[in-house]
């Protein structure tokens, strides 16, 4: 039935003025060329689409990903298409399979439509255990892989993703949520959709591109798969995006050197932060390739540590039911993480 989704897991609201390293946002705004493109198009805001901006976005993405533009759709972030995919491909008779822990949005939407949601623990390297996922519900309608995974930052090898695509039921859909892929120097799953009509790859500009509040996401899929997801609104949604976000994304996506610089900066800060925590005897989950990691507080309860850090004006992330002794910490700027390190030292000594 239509049980209300559990609210207990939802993130705490951002504390204005704090060091905000709780919700995996980027520490800085859009790439400068993207911001300039967004500001420029404001003066043409009277038009729904002044100059074929959606097609410009699809062409830019197509060039970077090596995918036909016909296989690319744009959305206000990736939350909307994630919900649509759940509603389209799962049902009370065809469940959803995910890893545990992972990003839970699809669990909630699954519960709402009365689909059975089955969770398979992450494997020994904290990758998705695709064989366990399939065994857990061999007749699901939807298999969800998040790589890099939220909250662990860990990657699932493309070979495992391909294995799941080839071994799931033919009429089931495999989602590969690549919200954090730009932070990982690793192969992505985009090309899978050129040859198959049962894989949906999701991207967002909310993370490395620093556009969470501007709202822009992408899906890559065969046109037939996209059509199924879009039948609710006559395919209109992708023509109704804010032009500021579309222009910003279009200008940002080809900037390989700037993207790499942002990734490198994040990695350096992440590794320095992790080294500090380890030097204090804290356990950090290995293998993150994203702007987050999970940390265990020497037996202190994550909720108490979170509150103590907030008293130092540092807002970290929450725990996951599967890993109740750990907190997720987002990698902020070098200055943010210095404040975090100082606050951790104070809290540990208290």
Summarize as ranges the residues that interact with ligand PLP (CB under 6 A). Answer: 24, 77-79, 103, 146, 150, 177, 179, 204, 206, 212, 217
Spatial distance between the Cα atoms of 123 and 129, rounded to a whole number of angstroms = 5
Task: Count the neighbouring beta carbons within 10 Å of the beta carbon of residue 7.
Answer: 7
Q: Do the beta carbons of residue 183 and residue 290 sit within 8 Å?
A: yes
**Residue 265 CA, distance from chain mean position:** 19
Nearest approach, Cβ of 90 to ligand PLP (angstroms)? 17
How far is the C-alpha of 21 from the C-alpha of 25, rounded, in Å? 8
8/257 with CB nearer ligand PLP: 8
CB atoms within 10 A of CB 159: 9
CB of 109 to ligand PLP, least distance (A): 12
Residue with smaller CB distance to ligand PLP, 183 or 276 = 183
62: Cα within 13 Å, side-chain hemisphere: 13
Q: Minimal CB distance to ligand PLP: which residue?
A: 77
Q: What are the structure tokens assigned to 276, written together?
A: 């500090």
> Closer CB to ligand PLP, residue 78 or residue 327?
78
What is the closest distance, in whole angstroms, from the C-beta atom of residue 217 to ligand PLP in the complex?
Answer: 5
Q: Which is nearer to ligand PLP, 205 or 340 (CB)?
A: 205
CB of 42 to ligand PLP, least distance (A): 22
Question: Is 150 or 156 the residue whose CB approaches ligand PLP more closely?
Answer: 150
Closer CB to ligand PLP, residue 150 or residue 238? 150
Residue 18 CB, shortest distance to ligand PLP, in Å, is 18
Contact present, 331 and 267 (Cβ < 8 Å): no
As measured in angstroms, the least distance from the Cβ of 91 to ligand PLP is 22
Both tokens of 277, joined, read 């925590």
Residues contacting 127, CB < 8 A, separation 6+ = 147, 149, 154, 155, 156, 157, 160
Structure-block tokens of residue 109? 């939407």
Give Cα 151 to chain centroid, integer Å: 9
Distance CA 26, CA 56 (A): 25
Question: Which lies closer to ligand PLP via its Cβ, residue 306 or residue 343?
Answer: 306
How many CA atoms, within 13 angstroms, populate the side-chain half-sphere of residue 279?
A: 9
CB of 203 to ligand PLP, least distance (A): 8
């Amino acid at each position: 039935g239509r049980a209300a989704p559990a609210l207990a897991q939802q993130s705490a609201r951002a504390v204005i003025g704090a060091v905000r390293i709780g919700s995996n946002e980027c520490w800085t705004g859009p790439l400068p060329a993207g911001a300039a493109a967004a500001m420029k198009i404001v003066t043409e805001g009277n038009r729904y689409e002044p100059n074929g901006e959606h097609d410009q976005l699809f062409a830019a993405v197509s060039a970077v990903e090596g995918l036909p533009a016909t296989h690319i759709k744009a959305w206000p972030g990736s939350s909307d298409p994630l919900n649509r995919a759940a509603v389209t491909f799962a049902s009370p008779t065809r469940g959803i399979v995910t890893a545990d822990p992972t990003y839970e949005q699809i669990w909630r939407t699954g519960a709402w439509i009365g689909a059975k949601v089955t969770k398979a623990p992450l494997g020994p390297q904290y990758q998705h255990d695709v064989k366990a996922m399939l065994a857990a519900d061999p007749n699901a309608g939807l298999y969800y892989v998040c790589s890099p995974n939220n909250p662990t930052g860990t990657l699932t090898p493309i070979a495992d993703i391909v294995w799941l695509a080839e071994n799931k039921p033919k009429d089931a859909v495999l989602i590969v949520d690549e919200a954090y892929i730009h932070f990982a120097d690793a192969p992505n799953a985009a090309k899978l959709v050129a040859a198959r009509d049962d894989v949906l790859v999701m991207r967002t500009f909310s993370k490395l591109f620093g556009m969470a509040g501007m709202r822009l996401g992408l899906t890559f899929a065969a046109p037939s798969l996209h059509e199924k997801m879009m039948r609710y609104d006559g395919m209109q949604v992708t023509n109704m995006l804010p032009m500021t976000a579309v222009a910003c994304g279009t200008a940002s996506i080809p900037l390989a050197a700037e993207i790499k610089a942002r990734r490198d900066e994040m990695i350096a800060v992440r590794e320095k932060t992790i080294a500090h925590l380890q030097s204090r005897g804290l356990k950090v989950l290995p293998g993150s390739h994203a702007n987050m990691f999970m940390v265990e507080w020497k037996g202190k309860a994550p909720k108490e540590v979170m509150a103590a850090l907030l008293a130092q004006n540092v807002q970290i992330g929450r725990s996951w039911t599967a890993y109740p002794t750990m907190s997720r910490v987002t990698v902020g700027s070098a200055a943010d993480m210095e404040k975090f390190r100082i606050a951790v030292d104070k809290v540990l000594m208290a």
